[in-house]
Chains A and B, each alone.
Chain A
């Protein structure tokens, strides 16, 4: 890994660890109210202060990262799987199949994530499920377009023509010869998509479309903190910082990967 910059990865690992530790240990119960401790500023007992119900903000941030990371993982995994199949079919076989597949992908691509989330919430009701549907749908066309572009440029290269001349089956050529060459580009996009999904989950749960109370999510915490941000700035600062650091981490990881895998550009 000589020449790889670790800046993004360090941030990503730190935020992921914070969330992982939250599964086993939090300083306080994230949903337990404590009226005597309401709006307490940061202290030894509550390192990041408390909210208007006296709930510990650090504990809530540790647990509130779950929906964000879940959105990132689902969006990237499903988006990648479906999008690569979609784009590979279009880019390898070309013709009318490509036309239909890419028109659909373009249409889907032009729909903003918020609009998809609003439609999903109208159908399924507010909750994490609607958000997962929206972020996944948003990522399928991104990976499909990327994969198709890669396939079109790779399918005429000598090593693919040679494989075809040897009589190899299409599936074997796609999986063993073309796909491995798409991996660097897909990996960079996966990191950027992860960042976008975290940001989308935060915005949507800020709007009240995602995780419902009393369960915390970073966006939801900001929605609640907005009402008393003047009295308790810490309640509005720290959850936003958590989102920004996680998003910055994945975005920089994408840049670091791009620099490492493709030093020319």
Chain B
């Protein structure tokens, strides 16, 4: 428990740092939100009024405190561009049912592919199976996922009609249709991470297979599958989970690209349009929530750790 509390505290501290960083980085931004709203021809008096309305005439510390106070209550302010005055929190709430299932599906797919393939490659080191798996992993690392996405849309969606070519219905309106429109994006999102994780699992397995207890397990006559799965893989996954976090972070970040390829109305696309439109409250809110998701994924992984490695459970 102490271990998890410590991790939770660390996560909240990081989130605070992220919030400060995004807020103050964006504060030094050239350009005036009031000008963005009213246009450059606006009358100076009206500009002052809008600045006061947005609270931009207050000291930056006060602005940060009031923004953070809002965030705690779930209020991220109002968007400057999205049908002007739309609440940032509502826009984010509408995007999460797209991005969260997409990321979860992709994480599951990446693990489900990488763990067995990595273990198989390690147990067949230097043989044909190993070479084929490494070749696939090299291809998955080098082929740009968004390119594969564009080609997959043409083939599986436009030509074969198995999936919609883009967009996504609401979960409440058409749950199966919504799920179906996330399958191809999740596959494309998972691919590069699966490629890297396969290599990580393989390397970790090769290290473990050199250990004495593996020789002992073989020596006492255990079948090879039991040696690989029970003694090898369960130990290899401990060292895999220490480096898997960064890959999962990259995967979550990859939703920005994949949502663009498949025109999915998710958080990644919202961040992108916020940045391109320079909609500051929306940039702050979306990046904050995006960072929170990444940290939550990391925390989940950290809490898996004691389950995988009993030694941590023992130390209080």
List chain A positions with a Cβ less than 8 A from chain B: 107, 109-110, 112-115, 118-119, 121-123, 126, 195, 199, 202-203, 206-209, 219, 222, 225-226, 229-230, 233, 236-237, 239-240, 243-244, 247-248, 251-252, 255
A109 — nearest CB in chain B belongs to which residue?
A: B246
B139 — nearest CB in chain A belongs to which residue?
A: A248
Instruction: Report the bound CA distance from A233 to B159 in whole Å.
Output: 12
Q: Are A115 and B253 in contact (CB under 8 A)?
A: yes
A112 — nearest CB in chain B belongs to which residue?
A: B253
Q: Which residues of A contact B312 (CB under 8 A)?
A: none
Mark out the residues of chain B between 82 and 129 whose CB falls within 8 Å of any chain A CB in the assembled complex: none
Instruction: Report the bound CA distance from A175 to B179 in whole Å.
Output: 57
Instruction: Report the bound CA distance from A243 to B146 in whole Å.
Output: 11
Instruction: Report the bound CA distance from A252 to B134 in whole Å.
Output: 12
User: How many pairs, one residue from A and one from B, have CB atoms within 8 Å of each other in the complex?
Assistant: 104
- A206-B142 contact in complex given A118-B272, A118-B287, A122-B26, C-beta closer than 8 Å: no
Q: Which residues of A contact B253 (CB under 8 A)?
A: 112-115
Q: Are A123 and B142 in contact (CB under 8 A)?
A: no
- A208-B150 contact in complex given A114-B256, A244-B142, A244-B143, C-beta closer than 8 Å: no
Identify A237's interface contact among B141, B151, B257, CB under 8 A: B151
Q: Which residues of B contact A251 (CB under 8 A)?
A: 138, 141-142
- A240-B151 contact in complex given A206-B260, A230-B158, C-beta closer than 8 Å: yes
Instruction: Report the bound CA distance from A208 to B249 in whole Å.
Output: 22
List chain B positions with a Cβ less than 8 A from chain A: 17, 22, 25-26, 28-29, 138-139, 141-144, 146-148, 150-151, 153-154, 158, 246, 249-250, 252-254, 256-257, 260-261, 271-272, 275-276, 278, 283, 287, 290-291, 294
Q: Are B151 and A118 in contact (CB under 8 A)?
A: no
- 21 interchain pairs (CB within 8 A)? A110-B246, A114-B257, A115-B253, A118-B271, A118-B275, A119-B25, A121-B275, A121-B276, A122-B275, A122-B283, A202-B144, A206-B260, A222-B144, A226-B150, A230-B154, A240-B148, A240-B151, A243-B147, A244-B142, A251-B138, A252-B138
Contacts A121-B275, A123-B28, A207-B272 aside, 9 further interface pairs with beta carbons under 8 A come to A114-B254, A118-B271, A118-B272, A206-B146, A207-B260, A230-B158, A240-B147, A240-B150, A248-B143
Q: Are B144 and A199 in contact (CB under 8 A)?
A: yes
Closest CB-CB distance, A194 to chain B, in whole Å? Answer: 12
Interface centre among A122, A209, A236, A239 (most CB of B within 10 A): A122
Q: Are B154 and A236 in contact (CB under 8 A)?
A: yes
Interface centre among A114, A203, A239 (most CB of B within 10 A): A114
Q: Are B142 and A112 in contact (CB under 8 A)?
A: no
B250 — nearest CB in chain A belongs to which residue?
A: A112
Instruction: Report the bound CA distance from A219 to B276 in whole Å.
Output: 17
Closest CB-CB distance, A136 to chain B, in whole Å? Answer: 17
Instruction: Report the bound CA distance from A255 to B141 in whole Å.
Output: 13
Closest CB-CB distance, A77 to chain B, in whole Å? Answer: 22
- A248-B144 contact in complex given A109-B246, A236-B151, C-beta closer than 8 Å: no
A225 — nearest CB in chain B belongs to which residue?
A: B150
Q: Which residues of A contact B144 (CB under 8 A)?
A: 199, 202-203, 219, 222, 240, 243-244, 247
Q: Are A207 and B256 in contact (CB under 8 A)?
A: yes
Q: Which residues of A contact B142 (CB under 8 A)?
A: 195, 244, 247-248, 251
Closest 10 CB pairs of A and B: A112-B253, A240-B147, A248-B142, A247-B142, A114-B253, A244-B143, A118-B275, A243-B144, A226-B150, A122-B275
A239 — nearest CB in chain B belongs to which residue?
A: B147
Q: Are B150 and A222 in contact (CB under 8 A)?
A: yes
Q: Which residues of B contact A219 (CB under 8 A)?
A: 144, 146
Q: Are A222 and B278 in contact (CB under 8 A)?
A: no
Closest CB-CB distance, B23 to chain A, in whole Å? Answer: 12
Q: Are A208 and B276 in contact (CB under 8 A)?
A: yes
Closest CB-CB distance, B288 to chain A, in whole Å? Answer: 12
Q: Are B257 and A203 in contact (CB under 8 A)?
A: yes
Q: Which residues of B contact A233 (CB under 8 A)?
A: 154
Q: Which residues of B contact A202 (CB under 8 A)?
A: 144
Q: Which residues of A contact B146 (CB under 8 A)?
A: 203, 206, 219, 222
Instruction: Report the bound CA distance from A55 to B297 in whole Å.
Output: 45
Q: Which residues of B contact A109 (CB under 8 A)?
A: 246
